[in-house]
A and B are shown apart, each in its own frame.
Chain A
Amino acid sequence: MRLTLSAQDLAFRHEMAELFTTVVPHEIRDTVLDGGEVTAEMIRTSQRALDAAGLAVPHWPVEWGGRDWTQLQRHLWHEEMQRAGVPTPLPFNTSMIGPVLAQFASQEMKERFLPATANLDIWWSQGFSEPDAGSDLASLRTTAVRDGDDWVVNGQKTWTTLGQYGDWIFTLVRTDPEAKKQRGISMLLIDMSSPGLEVRPIELIDGGHEVNEVWFTDVRVPAENLVGEVNQGWTMAKFLLGNERVGVAPVAQVKRTLARAKRLAGAELDNPLTRARIATLENELLALELTALRVVAHSEEGEPHPASSVLKLRGTELQQQVSELVVDLAGPASLTPASAGVSDLPLWARRSAPVYLNYRKASIYGGSNEIQRQIIARTILGL
């Protein structure tokens, strides 16, 4: 056991801090640090800058831009990235489809997609969930039927995050209607400009538009866009969802938000209840961060570390609690919307309630927190 970073890791950390602040434009980082609205364009600019500096996909295999860092170095990379206010590289690209392609796709497919995925030349959407297939993803009904050199896709996906910007969508489709649930599923990559594909917006309770329905009517997809083998989609889905669980644990970001809340609290920081609440949250975050460092969940031979469920479960709970704290610090000022043309109330306060409502999603997506508990109970505790 050792408490401190080695000289080498300290130097690494320093290098990261330096790189992030020089590589990514400060207007973008300031927006993130102020809790502002990060546009698609900012995400793109930032990820391209990271990719050029070899910082977008360090966890990928080296031949596709990975860096062969230790788990600790990856953690430091992520931590420093958050600290500098760099927008997280698009998770659909870097944490979801990228690693799947690197692991399961043909060489040809890797060459075609991986560099463009790392550089965000392709903006990927995740087309897994359907109206009747949420937690029970394997009950999905969107079909792909082979017709000559094409698959013909029909059905509907939903909750497609940022699908309005999507160039391509990776989908799970049913390719064998006869086989048992999980066995008849394949992963298909679909160009979102294909005829018959339609994206429809869904408005969320915070008034924002970040998710969509995606409808497929006789969409023709070249057979070569199927990842790996036919009817092997579930194996890839499990691999991807395991990574997603790790990817969505937002420790560093929540830490930043809490630090910021402390700064913005003003006179409320004199209230002992506020102080107790913040100190408690800081402690819980510390325990979580240390757990992340201790078990650093990773995929080995396609299997994520089971304790990654702890990170997702607790990380999203704390994310939600910190966003709740911020609304309470804003108090009555949380009632005036950010859109108000003239206001004497600070913008962070006017944004706080929609952000709080929006983060209710965090315990629902990426495998709901009930599903995480089930994984802990079954896989870890053997119950």
Chain B
Amino acid sequence: MDFTHDDEQLALRDAVRALLRSRYGDFEERRRAVRTELGHDESLWRQLAEMGVLGLPFAEEDGGMDAGPVEVGLVAQEFGRVLAPEPFLASVVLAGGTVAAVGSAEQRTEILTALAAGERRVALAHAEPGNRWSNIATDVTATDDDGHWTLSGVKEPVLAGDAEQLLISARLPDGGTGLFLVDGDATTRTTTTAYDGTRVTRVECDATAGTPLGEPGADVTREIATALDRARIAACHEALGGMEVALETTTAYLRSRKQFGVTLNHFQALTFRAADMYVALELTRSIVAWATMVAATGDADETRRAVARAALQVSRAGRHIGQEAIQLHGGIAMTAEYLVGNVTAHLTALDHLFGDGQHHLSELMTELEKHEALDPLTAPSGPDQEER
């Protein structure tokens, strides 16, 4: 077991960190970008493409970098540190990951090459008003008319659903869930900005034409679940980045803010609370790293369990750290201008994207009898080499 990163991975992290910091190091810049029509910075998206970040998890023949969850996690963590609004998680990890898992060779090359090059954004439209973090689709239905497929129903909230191309999940005529490629403009869409700056869309299909992704009519519930797990890990890393910054900002503030004639770090009631934030952060770092390594083995079932464990810890720690960061700052952290309250907002949003702590705990509660004691070292015996 080895929790360290190699030189190449660190170089990737440093490069992404430098680029994101130069763009959003001043938090005011991030606020401005979120308020633009697009909700993020097109030129930064291009730069990320040039750096290879937008194709990171895809195969080389699909225009990608052939990297695994570890590298994706490092990048996501940097996004979390500056609250970068570019849809790396939604478009690359989630939508791209789904295409990579389900698409035909031809579809993969066509879509992922464009995505990796920063020429096309893709979104997975899976969540439905009547569904709560489900792997299947029920509200949107697919109809097959002699190989001509149409979709009807509403998807909401869709992350970064103002993308050019949509990947819509739908209930198949014979049951099961299929995925369909749909031209974004062929649907009726409304996109708004969530409280943390995330773009969310309501997508309505009304007998809208769609092309099956992968095998027509095949149930891809399992593949969707696996793609969601990959996105969950990336979201865990993004949250980890946010927690790091929340703690750093808080300790810096405790050292500089004066009340009662002294800086706040003179009050042990406060410094101990910061110490508890640190404890939560380190525990989270460990379990997220572990789950990422499990995911890198490519074992979907073990990944599902490990992700649930990491996501539970991230949810709990994210709330603890986010809430304490605001509290230890006092009023200043309630303002939109100041970074730290926005970090808490983003942690809250990340927590509710793909299942919150209680959701994962409910899963884990059903598995108690499956093991005597947990042993992280005997987890899956997958291939040593990282797999996509």
Contact = CB atoms under 8 A, between A and B. Distances in A.
A340 B195 contact: no
A354 interface: yes
Interface of A: 129, 132, 134-136, 139, 158-159, 202-207, 211, 267-268, 271, 273-274, 277, 320, 324, 327-328, 330-337, 339-345, 353-354, 356-357, 360-361, 363-365, 368-370, 373-374
B358 interface: yes
B358 A345 contact: no
B258 A132 contact: yes
A334 B326 CA distance: 21
A273 B335 contact: no
Contacts of B365: 273
B152 interface: no
30 contacts: A134-B331, A135-B260, A135-B330, A202-B337, A203-B335, A203-B336, A204-B341, A206-B195, A207-B336, A273-B362, A274-B358, A277-B358, A328-B352, A328-B356, A332-B132, A332-B157, A335-B198, A335-B353, A336-B157, A336-B200, A337-B200, A341-B192, A344-B202, A345-B157, A353-B195, A353-B352, A360-B326, A364-B330, A364-B334, A373-B269
7 closest A-B pairs by CB? A205-B341, A344-B129, A136-B259, A203-B336, A340-B192, A335-B157, A336-B157
B41 interface: no
A353 B356 contact: no
Given A344-B202, A354-B195, A328 B327 contact: no
Contact of B334 (A343, A353, A361): A361
A357 B345 contact: yes
Contacts of A134: 259, 330-331
Contacts of B319: 324
A327 B358 CA distance: 12
B218 interface: no
Interface string B331-368: 10111110001101100110011001011011001000
A370 B331 contact: no
Given A343-B202, A344-B154, A345-B156, A370 B269 contact: yes
A205 B348 CA distance: 12
A372 to B, nearest CB: 12
A277 B361 CA distance: 13
Contacts of B356: 328, 331
Contacts of B193: 337
Interface in B257-274: 258-261, 267, 269-270
A267 to B, nearest CB: 8
B352 A334 contact: yes
Interface of B: 127, 129, 132-133, 154, 156-157, 190, 192-195, 198, 200, 202, 258-261, 267, 269-270, 319, 323, 326-327, 330-331, 333-337, 341-342, 344-345, 348-349, 352-353, 356, 358-359, 361-362, 365
Given A332-B132, A335-B157, A357 B361 contact: no
A156 to B, nearest CB: 14
A333 B157 contact: yes
Nearest to A344: B129
A342 B330 contact: no
A361 B353 CA distance: 25
A176 B356 CA distance: 55
Given A135-B259, A203-B336, A334-B352, A340 B202 contact: yes
Given A335-B200, A357-B345, 11 more contacts: A139-B260, A204-B334, A205-B341, A273-B365, A277-B358, A332-B352, A337-B193, A340-B202, A342-B202, A360-B341, A373-B269
A273 to B, nearest CB: 5
Given A340-B192, A357-B348, A331 B362 contact: no
A343 B270 CA distance: 42
A34 B358 CA distance: 26
Given A136-B259, A206-B195, A324-B319, A331 B156 contact: no
A357 B344 contact: yes
A336 B156 contact: yes
Contacts of B156: 336, 343-345
B371 to A, nearest CB: 20
Nearest to A210: B334
Contacts of B349: 335, 353
B129 A345 contact: yes
Given A343-B202, A344-B129, A129 B331 contact: yes
Nearest to A377: B269
